[in-house]
Amino acid sequence: MPERYIVAIDLGTSAARAVLFDLSAKPLRVVRHPYPLLSPRPGWSEQDPEEIVKAVIRCLQEITGQVARKDEIACVTFSSQMYSILALDQTGRAVTHSITWNDRRSAKIAETLRDREGFRELVSSTGCPISEIFPLYKILWLRQNLAGYSNLKFVSIKDYVIASLTGQFIADWSTASASGLFRINTMEWDEDVLSFVGLEQFANLPEVASPRHVIHHWVSQGADLNILDGTPLVLGGGDGPLASLGIGAVRPGSIAVNVGTSAALRVTVDTPSSIRQEDYGLFIADEGLWVTGGITGGGIVYDWLIRTHFQNLEGLLPGQIYQHVDALVQTVGPGADGLLFIPYLGGQQSPDWDAKQRGAFIGLGVEHGVAHFARAALEGLAFSLYRIANAVSSNSLLSVDRIYMSGGITHSEVWLQLAADVFGCEVVAPESTEGSARGSTLLALLALGIITRPEELSVPDTEYKIFAANESNHKAYQDIFMHFENTLKRLYD
């Protein structure tokens, strides 16, 4: 009998990745192909969807080429960056680039609607706060600036890639729940919101289905992918909710933090009614499982730090970069000798959703060097996540004793210890960084009937890096965090 594998495709902001998993959800191999992030105008952020499709095809060709037989591929599944949107004509051809999560062209639209009477109630069933990151507001911008609006179809980049491979436009509940157009309780497009934006469900949007939904047909290029026609493709979902599943934050009340280009803190819940949805994003992870929380600047803050303060690190591998910065950060104590960093380089998202709040160093003196900047930047990122945790915890009366951490920044053990000290609880990070891809793999195993609950393949503690909070540091950080909060109020109230 041949070996059997799951191929999980992850559509990130900077690259497509294919991860080969065995049927115990253990990652075996990874391939990656990057694509550019375009900024044709200030505040714009978009990507060429065809470049992303090409990257996915190359990933599939390479990863499937590493197995002995085509029938060893039991399934292909997807996780994807959230909040993307692009417009298609009636033939399915893209007429815009894919607009990404950090595009700010619709910020004024969101700001205006935030103050419009009745609008908050209109969108309350979608689980999405009022912010330009959500596709609803990007679509409203396109309505003002794109000809033939009513005849267009609007899809996420994940929908577009899967349609390119299978010929079917189907949106999964998880990705749709991050659009601002979808009812998270009834799993359907919100007709009241669609009426507001001038769209019709069947004419302008794809059909929706469970993240476990299976497609069995591949278009002709399937043969070039070393995949048999009829091989199941499981839809999967958004990378944030799936990261929670993949790293083990399955129990209701457990907290997951994923630091990619953005940073997201999410709490797993088994009923959406316990969350005040207009204040916190509430997204579908699986059938009967939701995650709530918020997002802030993440890897983009770290990348900015490297680009502006560590030009000598060009050419090093990511792990080497983290090691170099970690060594510097460790030469400075908590609080960076009075240097405070506000990490909202692209405007503040959660928990206040204020695009006018921007980044800053506070308390800068001649005694501060590059190590202080590095430590302050990591502390500022941790404080921004701690603010989200405090807001969500007070809303749902959570008691936090462990945080599951994922994303590229988990290469930095200094960051993991710093986060444990700021939060005052245990931080665990799987040795594997494939959280989102592993989450989609669990959905595939559920869809195929190989497991019945995600917890059946929980990550053993022996496969985590575990960091306990230093109580002395936590006490110091409580005072520094109050300074962070007070500084925000003085700057922006």
Tens of pLDDT along 377-399?
Answer: 999 999 999 998 888 776 554 56
Tens of pLDDT along 110-164?
Answer: 999 998 999 999 999 999 989 999 999 999 999 999 999 999 999 999 999 999 9
DSSP character at residue 117: T
Tens of pLDDT along 98-124?
Answer: 999 889 999 999 999 998 999 999 999
The fraction of the chain above a pLDDT of 90, given in percent, is 67
What number is the average pLDDT over the span 407-430?
A: 91
Structure confidence at residue 397 (pLDDT): 45
Tens of pLDDT along 324-351?
Answer: 899 999 999 999 999 999 999 887 877 8
Task: Give φ, ψ of 153 to 5 degrees.
Answer: -110, 135
Which range (220-224, 253-257, 401-405) has the least confidence?
220-224
- The residue ranges of every structural domain in the chain are 5-240
Tens of pLDDT along 39-60?
Answer: 999 999 999 999 999 999 999 9
Tens of pLDDT along 218-253?
Answer: 986 555 888 898 999 999 999 989 989 998 888 877
Identity of the amino acid at 231: T
List of residues 6+ apart from 107 with CB closer than 8 A: 43, 132, 347, 355
Q: Which one has a higher pLDDT value, 62 or 299?
A: 62
Residues 290 and 305: their CA atoms lie apart, in Å, by 33
Looking at domain 5-240, does it have CATH number 1.10.3210.10?
Answer: no
What number is the average pLDDT over the span 423-428?
A: 93
Structure confidence at residue 411 (pLDDT): 86
